[in-house]
Amino acid sequence: MSTTTSATNRTTLPVVPDTDPSRFVLDSYKIAIAKIVGDALGLSVEQVYPGVAWGKKGVDFTVALPRFRLPGKVDELAKKVIASFEPNDYIASIEHDKAFLHFMCNTDNLNRDVLTQIHTLGADYGKNESGKGKKLVIEYSSPNIAKSFHVGHLRSTIIGAFLANLYKACGWEVVGLNYLGDWGTQFGLIAVGFEKYGSQEALEKDAIKHLFDVYVKINQDAEKDPQVRVDAAAWFRRMENFEPEALENWKVWRELSVKKYEEEYDRLNVHFDVYTGENGTSIYLTRDIGGAIERYEKYKFDKMIYVVSAQQDLHLAQFFKVLELMEFPWAKDLLHINYGLVQGMSTRKGTVVFLNQIIEDATQIMHEQMQANEDKYKAVEDPEFTSREIGISGIKIQDMAAKRINNYTFSKERMFSFEGDTGPYLQYAHVRLASVGRKNPNLLPLPPPSEIATDHLSQYAQARDIVFLLGQYPDVVLTALKTHEPSGVVTYLFRLTHAVSSAWETVIVKGEPDVEKAKAKLFLFEQAKVVLNAGMQLLSLRPLDRM
């Protein structure tokens, strides 16, 4: 079997397929465990490796012996492994608990390996090349043109942006599509409404808001007067017949809408490669089938994802089935990523909650909270931008904190709190990590990792907890790729920030008299910041350094 040496003067480890210690150093520790168990029980490393699982609290890794279906009592097998074990560069101890073997890593080497790898890879830590050479097309967000961006559109936007970032982090080429809909009777309604309530001046000032106001007013008229819908249908037919005046309105409103949406998306840190949309009318199913065929011809994708609410489950299933029955071989590569509803929203009566308003409210609330600390507030270069980013983080994290299929009730109070597991708390944790270096300029710049005495960290249980969590980040990314769940990344970031928070009172940098020890502690917090930053960016947040 071929071998590789993972660090200078280390135990030589076998190479295991689909592992990459150069990007995920804990693979080395898992391989070492697989070798210990395999050598003792007459199994290959490849047979044991998939059975090396993350341990529960207080344990690094666990192996469940019954999975190997070996003859003999489990107790005897466990004793055999323990009897043959000698501590090595990777594994310090094994404990036996019924059918399980629990492994603890060599703390000195664990600290050095994980922190050095993060420092070496920097912003690329956690990324992998599992999708190298593959192309993803992903359609998400897809609001209706001439209708203001509201919280109902937000879920598809936030989840879609996360998935686009995730696939890029895993080596895929990603094409993000935004399908702008509503060439239809609703658009006919807006056209009729514009004749009655429209203002060219208001249109040029804020097209989406003005057209939405028109839409609300004409809807109210339509409830009292059936003729309004008759007129709307007539206008719609003019569009179907490609009458220049009807089409001209549609084109102008679409261009103004796209321009406004691009501003909204930029604020949300979401970016599309292509804006597409309806240019004729047909039932949804035939439109979607034609669109999918056209996209395959254009992009030759390896996978195409539609981020659409669970209300459309049946429609998407029928659409995929039709393409399969049409014998398109790529039909198997279509994937519907669904999600639950944001509850407490009304869209027809004008009582819809607009994203713009929420962001403005959030910005104001966060601005007031920042001003409460005058000294810190003075140090913030752009308070408006900073308070807005904290607010947007609150909106996004509330959306992604639970599994996407779950419905959730939109809550401003919860969203904008610095207490508990919220977006503002993540930003606060990042700011605090960023401040450690600023408060200890005498330790900067830090020397290369090989000259930092990370063994000093071994005396702090809290430091070890942080390091082991940091080491898991590449696996968190790979798991998210399998589940398409942002909530796993959110949960991980809160576990990490809680671990860091627990260390502030014990792993103290400022005032540490031993300079070498102080450097090791700062090195730990600097790498924690790298990983928190990467995870936040994966979730499309903009991490802040001051607030």
Specify whether the CB–CB gap between 41 and 68 falls below 8 A: yes
CA distance 176 to 160: 9
Annotated catalytic residue 484: no
Which tokens is 522 given? 């700062």
Annotated catalytic residue 150: yes
CA distance 320 to 359: 37
Half-sphere exposure of 17 (CA within 13 A, CB side): 3
* Residue tagged active-site, from 30, 35, 153, 484: 153
* Residue tagged active-site, from 30, 35, 147, 430: 147
Specify whether the CB–CB gap between 409 and 344 falls below 8 A: yes
CA distance 39 to 134: 38
What is the sign of the dihedral through the CA atoms of 165, 170, 172 and 173? positive
Which value, in Å, is the radius of gyration of the alpha carbons in the chain? 28
* Whole-number Cα distances in Å, 291 to 145, 300, 480: 18, 13, 28
Specify whether the CB–CB gap between 259 and 146 falls below 8 A: no
Which tokens is 86 given? 């000698």
Cα 9-10-13 angle, rounded to 5 deg = 135
The secondary element (H helix, E strand) that includes residue 63 is strand 61-64
Q: Is the peptide bond before 445 cis (omega within 30 degrees of 0)?
A: yes
Nearest alpha-carbon partner for 543 in 395, 392, 438: 392
Helix (H, G, I), strand (E, B) or coil at 238: helix
* Residue tagged active-site, from 30, 150, 484, 529: 150
CA distance 466 to 492: 12
CA distance 110 to 95: 19
Q: What is the DSSP code string of 103-143?
A: EEE-HHHHHHHHHHHHHHHGGGTT---TTTT-EEEEE---P
Beta-carbon count within 10 A of 15 CB: 12
Specify whether the CB–CB gap between 261 and 272 falls below 8 A: no
CA distance 406 to 101: 36
* Whole-number Cα distances in Å, 238 to 234, 242, 391: 6, 6, 44
Annotated catalytic residue 147: yes
- The DSSP bridge pattern shows strands 3-5 and 12-14 to be antiparallel
The residues that are catalytic are 147, 150, 153
